[in-house]
Amino acid sequence: MAGMLSASAQTKGGGISEDMLSRIRQSYAATPEQKAVKNALASTSMATLAINSENLAMMDTHFSHRVETKGITDQKSSGRCWLFTGLNVLRAKMITKYDLPSLEFSQNYNSFYDQLEKSNLFLQSIIDTRDLPLDDRKVEWLMKNAIGDGGQFTGVSNLIMKYGVVPKSAMPETFQSNNTSQMANILRLKLREFALELRELKPAKAMERKEEMLAEIYVILVECLGVPPTEFEWARYDKAGNLVSKKTYTPKSFYDEYIGEDLEQNYIMVMNDPSREYNKVYEIEYDRHVYDGENWLYVNLPIERVKELAIASIKDNTAMYFSCDVGKFIDRSKGTLDIYNFDYASLFNTSFPMDKKQRIQTFSSGSSHAMTLIAVDLDEQGNSKKWMVENSWGASSGYQGNLIMTDEWFNEYMFRVVVERKYVPEDILKMLEQKPILLPAWDPMFAPEE
């Protein structure tokens, strides 16, 4: 009866009636507790008020297993975490292998070709879909996501295998590479303008016109980011500062000599997505940076299997590409990720009962940021207690440039880890023989990491 009365009090179209609004207003009774919260929120950050005072102590910073790394990078005001992370994984290997005092690859160099390749991916996709109506969901998605500087590990693998790498000294950052929003706005505007033109052209003419459009994009990129080097000189020193070698390289020869891995074949992406069936292989349409590359495949695994692979890699002193929903329960001052850092439920006298599966299904959580997984702390039984990632927000951010996460936080907000094949058990490698389940570009798991 109460439900019937409540429904009848609403307006005919399901809106809020005067009677309904009157009842809703009664939910705020101006109790001392409610007034105290309202007064506090009027002049104080919500996150500050929600700090859990019972969890103020800093986490133990000891780790039983940690990958050797040197230096913290800074992506500044850009969405290039995926690229910083991938290059940080490779530089850790090169530093260890050649006993270098330090090293940083040029993120700007690979960013340049990332933006050029993404422009081509968009324009060619517009040509491919020109027979679909403008309001078709795929065309609409392409228009909304013309270009950006966020990405995935597929960008790292495709771009490096095609264009190589250079040391940062060969192509340093510019203001625009460190602050990408204005450049992105200009590129999006031009690409959408080009898209409308391409949809009206016949195929042969469209391909010819596309090259002219890419030439215009190239000029904008050069003016913003600089001219990417085709060859450069690099001197290698040992830890003691002694010159070991000095040579002229191309970006490809530099990569081949010092790294030499086939990134497209040697790495496996594993996901923990409880909203979909485990032990299956998934592919997301347009989940690539290069048109003639491959959409990235991932194996969806229970969280325990993901940890198994991550622990094996860390024990062998090998860092990993790692992505998560970094904004959830992050204490930036301490550099910790802990589901008990903040208590919003008590602040608002409510509850937040959704689990990881439900948060994914409702777009409440998803992979938003990539970092380099470098450490795990194991108990006597070999179970993980906490983890640490090397971030790309500068050395003064977090805990010495890193973030430490509890195992509970890892369970809830970790999504992807990219591991070398040699750390993947045979039963998981066998899963890659499955025909991938193709997901649309607007799937929740596609969101670019920034």
Of the candidates 273, 267, 262, the residue with the CA atom closest to the CA atom of residue 416: 273
Q: How far apart are CA 211 and CA 120, in angstroms?
A: 9
Gap between the Cα atoms of 210 and 194, Å rounded: 8
235: which strand partners? 246
67 DSSP assignment: -
Gap between the Cα atoms of 50 and 289, Å rounded: 39
Q: Judge contact between 434 and 280, C-beta under 8 A.
A: yes
81 is catalytic: yes
Q: Is 369 a catalytic residue?
A: yes
Q: Catalytic one among 52, 81, 110, 178?
A: 81
Which residue, among 184, 189, 193, has the nearest Cα to 126 in the 3D structure? 193
Cβ–Cβ under 8 Å, residues 272 and 415: yes
Please check whether residue 283 is in contact with residue 276, taking contact to mean a CB–CB distance below 8 angstroms: no
For the question of residue 324 being annotated catalytic, the response is no
Catalytic residue among 279, 369, 402, 411: 369
For 268, the token pair is 């496996």
Catalytic residue among 242, 391, 402, 411: 391
> Alpha-carbon distance 387 to 405, whole Å?
5
Four-residue CA torsion sign, 238, 243, 244, 245: positive
Q: Decide: 418 and 99 in contact? Cβ < 8 Å.
A: no
Which amino acid belongs to residue 198? L
Residues that are catalytic: 81, 369, 391
